[in-house]
Amino acid sequence: MCGILAALLGDADTHVNQLIVDGLTVLQHRGQDAAGIVTCEKGHLNLRKDSGLVSEVFQHHHMLTLRGNLGIGHVRYPTAGTSSCAEAQPLFTNYPYGICAAHNGNITNTAELRAALVQSLRHINTGSDSELVLNVFAEELQAQHKGRDICPTDVFEAVRKLMARCHGAYGVVMLVNGVGLLGFRDPHGIRPLVLGTRNSTTQAGVTDFLLASESVAIDTLRFSLVGDVGPGEAILITTEGKLHRSQCARSPQLMPCIFEYVYFARPDSIMDGVQVYEARLNMGERLAESILRKYPQHDIDVVIPVPDTSRTSGLSCAYTLGRPFREGFIKNRYIARTFIMPGQAVRMKTVRMKLNTIRSEFRGKNVLLVDDSIVRGTTSRELVSMAREAGARKVYVTSAAPAVRYPNVYGIDIPTRIELIANERDEAQVAAELGADWVVYQALEDLKTSIRKINPSIQEFDASCFDGRYVTGDITDEYLVELQGGRGKKQGHQQQQAEVLRGRAERKMVSETSEKHKTWNAHDGNHSASNCANGAPAEAGAAAPAGMGPGAASVSTRLSSACAEKKLGGSCEVLFNLGRETTK
């Protein structure tokens, strides 16, 4: 679930670089693998992108090259292609005009698009679906060119054509050299995009513009939220600072991704008129009601959230249950989100590194652990065992989202069912799998109501990972089988499954001998070294070699990406001025 951002400062003599870096930092929770920015100064495009967090990718000397008053930025969580920094965004094409794109989402008809683009002699350099979006737009914009300057109508016509050709989910921002900034959202509005403005801080009477995945960027950069870009809508901000809007989809219908409200978005964001925090409070309340219906005689002593995301729903869940809300798990503030890390091995290890127990909150108590979602079960599995180690008498688990049972094709990296803990399992079986006393999932209708209560005009959602209904209508069983055999296989999900099992066996052994930390650390040392030296994993975060154990991969996304790049033949750092063609 990448983060995208586009900004234009009305004062042409100012530079937008720091604003974009700050905005991407605020959107970091949407993608931790790679970051990139392109700016435009007097017709020259300046690009800097690499694997890593925003704070790692943009050093002072990079900032000096990112000149210009307009630009776009991206933080990446890969869902197509590879984790290689060659696929970090923004992506660039010089034909026609010089266009850069940053994309959040996932395209579902990539094979068809790729074939058509190759046929029309456009060069496609990577496995990235976003590169296809960029090239489709470039091709369609070129088709509008009639030997005169590009005007807003040409741009919107190109987006219209793109929407007819590209299927799936997309929030996109583009920089078109000499024209301005463009932002648009797919016809179902699956992926979010908001617009903000402010008065220029350096020149009276001119406006600064900002497009971002989440309103939290608008707030923190001190812009005012104008509102959401509508489903199928495109917004063009010209280099002269004029704003144009146009509906580019034939039959737009808002069906936002429900998982944004559950997990991806920050609680302080407002998406499609819904304050995410409020929606999560509602989720916790409904969840508690559901628990009370199923277990009216429950013996829960204390409610403990799983930091970070479930804190909000945990709070209202505890309140509605009438039980104390306690911080039983403390999160290491320097470790980022686990779910969006690449590879099961690194995710498993990170949970242990990330969370630790306050023993007194567990000892002798019946605890209810509240998480926002249980996807692969990586987090809950570890936490149930940690709760027991900390002396809990009974451990109950509840999820503010329903059971995740289907692959996601719209920008969440779940290409196969087999990796999901709830695949072909009911609540009792998931509880057994987690080692919990019972598990309660939110009902899908209750989740929808939690959000609709705030904005009743959202009639439907993309809730495909919960109900298997793909709103774009083009997802066939064959497509899902292909996805499993393609990205699923590439990521080694069978191997990951084996990892999970091996991890489980190891944990059992470890808790029997009470030497878990010693064992895990021993694995870590051996493996980290061999991982890099041999260039072993085919992709960042790929499953560890057999026998290496769950502590095998590095905790740091950056490190695992770096190892992958070694395999690709050296550093992939990109720093060059596209206009002047200088390479660092």
Ligand X SMILES: O=P(O)(O)OC[C@H]1O[C@H](OP(=O)(O)OP(=O)(O)O)[C@H](O)[C@@H]1O
Ligand Y SMILES: NC(=O)CC[C@H](N)C(=O)O
Binding site residue list for Mg(2+): 309, 371-372
Q: Residue 337: name its binding partner from ligand Y, Mg ion, ligand X, none (Cβ under 5 to 8 Å by kind).
A: ligand X
Cβ distance to ligand Y smaller for residue 77 or 329: 77
Q: Which of 2, 85, 248, 572 is catalytic?
A: 2
Helix (H) or strand (E) holding 384: helix 378-389
Q: Residue 263: name its binding partner from Mg ion, ligand X, ligand Y, none (Cβ under 5 to 8 Å by kind).
A: ligand X
Q: Residue 76: name its binding partner from ligand X, Mg ion, ligand Y, none (Cβ under 5 to 8 Å by kind).
A: ligand Y
Q: How far is the CB of 55 from ligand X (least distance, A)?
A: 18
Q: What is the C-alpha separation between 8 and 159, in angstroms, rounded?
A: 20
Q: How far is the CB of 276 from ligand X (least distance, A)?
A: 12
DSSP structure class, residue 213:
S
Q: How far is the CB of 185 from ligand Y (least distance, A)?
A: 13
Question: Starting from the edge strand earliest in sequence, which strands make up the sheet with 194-199, in order?
Answer: 224-228, 194-199, 207-212, 3-8, 70-76, 34-41, 44-51, 574-577, 582-583
The owner of tokens 């990330």 is: 354
Cβ distance to ligand X smaller for residue 32 or 128: 32
The DSSP bridge partners found for residue 246 are 234
Amino acid found at 155: V
> What is the per-residue binding string for Mg ion in 511-540, x denoting contact by CB under 5 A?
------------------------------
Interacting residues toward ligand Y by CB under 6 A: 1-2, 76-81, 103-106, 128-130, 411
Q: Residue 433: name its binding partner from ligand Y, ligand X, Mg ion, none (Cβ under 5 to 8 Å by kind).
A: none
Cβ distance to ligand Y smaller for residue 117 or 179: 117
Cβ distance to Mg ion smaller for residue 106 or 309: 309
Cβ distance to Mg ion smaller for residue 323 or 376: 376
* Residues in binding contact with Mg ion, number by CB under 5 A: 1
CB-based burial label for 80 (10 Å; 0-12, 13-18, 19+): buried
DSSP structure class, residue 325:
B
Rg (CA), the chain: 24
> Residues 449-484, buried b or exposed e (16+ Cβ, 10 A)?
ebbbebbeebeebbbbbbeeebbbeebeeebbeebb
369 φ, ψ to 5°? -90, 125
Question: Starting from the edge strand earliest in sequence, which strands make up the sheet with 91-93, in order?
Answer: 91-93, 99-107, 168-176, 180-185, 233-238, 243-247
Q: Residue 105: name its binding partner from Mg ion, ligand Y, ligand X, none (Cβ under 5 to 8 Å by kind).
A: ligand Y
Q: How far is the CB of 170 from ligand Y (least distance, A)?
A: 8
**Residues of span 281-320 touching Mg ion by CB under 5 A:** 309
The owner of tokens 């969580």 is: 77
Q: Residue 161: name its binding partner from ligand Y, Mg ion, ligand X, none (Cβ under 5 to 8 Å by kind).
A: none
303 φ, ψ to 5°? -110, 125
* Catalytic (active site) residue 2: yes
Helix (H) or strand (E) holding 406: none
Interacting residues toward ligand X by CB under 6 A: 263, 306-309, 337-340, 371-380
Q: What is the C-alpha separation between 545 and 376, in angstroms, rounded?
A: 20
CB-based burial label for 198 (10 Å; 0-12, 13-18, 19+): middle
Strand pairing category for 99-107 and 168-176: antiparallel
Q: How far is the CB of 300 from ligand X (least distance, A)?
A: 20
Q: How far is the CB of 294 from ligand X (least distance, A)?
A: 21
Cβ distance to Mg ion smaller for residue 309 or 496: 309
List of residues contacting Mg ion (CB under 5 A): 309
Among all residues, which ones are annotated catalytic? 2
